[in-house]
């Protein structure tokens, strides 16, 4: 079983749509959670951290459910520029700073 | 402010040859990480330096890989001898030292390694 599991997609949505991505992680000791965005042949870039209370940044909302070991990302009013691969990323903590990545979910926003 | 830089951007070598990848972190970042993505797989952690010390090398696949960070500035990752399965994209990342909380890792553009 992978440590971080994501639906690979692709998700093809029209501009203006709302789209949600989900992710599960296997290590219950994980302490920090993130969504990274990766454009084609580019490096991953931090989109947002994910907190237990849920957090929002403009059109993006992230949620964490520790009991279910589940992380979500909601994108409202999708833009063409949102087309990318979204990586669910976890840090186990306990003094280690290594990031564990999911394989990513590809989003294609269409005009 | 300059981001993380990596050199070369691409490298094509034959099986059995040696390749050295270089990473220059963001100035002032003591933490430096190496990750790689092999074909069809997720990005995987290789190792973590704090300044010149290896803090965590649990992700290094085998002894054909050698990472160094002499002087605590730039880092090199040498693969010797290279095998076909080493092909992939090698990312470097850096972050500041913040003891009380997790801090963002900034990634470089990666080195695309092809072993023929």
Q: pLDDT tens track of chain A, all 111 residues?
A: 789 999 988 999 999 999 999 999 999 989 899 999 999 999 999 999 998 888 999 999 999 999 999 999 999 999 999 999 999 999 987 778 899 999 999 999 999
CB contact under 8 A, A4 and B102: no
Gap between the Cα atoms of A32 and A36, Å rounded: 13
Across B12-37, average pLDDT: 96
DSSP annotation of A83 reads: -
Picking from A104, A95, A4, the residue whose alpha carbon sits closest to that of residue B31 is A95
Gap between the Cα atoms of A37 and A105, Å rounded: 10
Across B68-85, average pLDDT: 95
- pLDDT tens per residue, range A15-27: 999 999 999 999 9
Across B101-116, average pLDDT: 90
Gap between the Cα atoms of B6 and B45, Å rounded: 17
| Four-point Cα dihedral A35, A81, A105, A65, nearest 10 | 40
Gap between the Cα atoms of A71 and A21, Å rounded: 8
Across B63-92, average pLDDT: 96
pLDDT at B100: 55
pLDDT at B68: 97
Gap between the Cα atoms of B69 and B10, Å rounded: 21
Determine contact: A24 vs chain B, CB below 8 A.
no
- Indicate whether B102 pLDDT > 80: no
Residues of A in contact with B43 (CB under 8 A): 44, 87, 99, 101
pLDDT at B104: 86
- Nearest CB neighbour to B48, from listed A2, A98, A104: A98
DSSP code string of B26-79? PTT--EEEEEEEETTS--EEEEEEETTEEEE-TT--STTEEEE-GGGS-EEEEE
Two structure tokens written together for A54? 């849920």
Cβ atoms of residues A108 and A14 within 8 Å: no
pLDDT at B113: 97
pLDDT band at B98 (very low <50, low <70, confident <90, very high): low
Determine contact: A60 vs chain B, CB below 8 A.
no
Q: Is B16 left (phi over 0), alpha (psi -120 to 50) or beta?
A: left
CB contact under 8 A, B43 and A87: yes
- Indicate whether B56 pLDDT > 70: yes
**What are the CA-CA distances from residue A11 to residues A83, A84, B42 (Å)?**
10, 10, 18
CB contact under 8 A, B42 and A103: yes
Picking from A27, A8, A21, the residue whose alpha carbon sits closest to that of residue A103 is A8
pLDDT at B36: 97
Q: Name the residue in chain A with its Cα closest to that of B97.
A: A97
pLDDT at B39: 86
| Residues facing residue A86 across a β-bridge | A37, A105
Alpha-carbon distance B26 to nearest alpha carbon in chain A (angstroms):
15
């Amino acid at each position: 079983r992978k440590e971080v599991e994501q639906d690979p997609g692709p998700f093809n949505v029209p501009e203006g749509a709302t789209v949600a991505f989900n992710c599960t992680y296997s290590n219950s000791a994980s302490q920090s959670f993130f969504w990274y965005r990766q454009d084609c042949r580019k490096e991953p870039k931090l989109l947002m951290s994910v907190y237990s209370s849920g957090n929002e940044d403009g059109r993006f909302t992230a949620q964490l459910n520790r009991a279910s070991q589940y992380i979500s990302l909601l994108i409202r009013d999708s833009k063409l520029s949102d087309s990318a691969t979204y990586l669910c990323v976890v840090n186990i903590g306990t003094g280690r700073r290594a990031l564990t990545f999911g394989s990513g979910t590809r989003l294609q926003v269409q005009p | 402010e300059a981001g993380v830089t990596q050199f070369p951007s691409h490298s094509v070598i034959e099986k059995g040859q040696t390749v050295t990848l270089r990473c220059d972190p963001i100035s002032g970042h003591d933490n430096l990480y190496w990750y790689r993505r092999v074909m069809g797989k997720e990005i995987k952690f290789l190792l973590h330096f704090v300044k010149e010390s290896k803090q965590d090398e649990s992700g290094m696949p085998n002894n054909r890989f050698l990472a160094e960070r002499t002087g605590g500035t730039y880092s090199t990752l040498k693969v010797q001898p290279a095998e076909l399965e080493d092909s992939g994209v090698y990312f470097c990342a850096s972050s500041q030292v913040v003891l009380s909380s997790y801090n963002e890792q900034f990634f470089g553009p990666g080195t695309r390694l092809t072993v023929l």
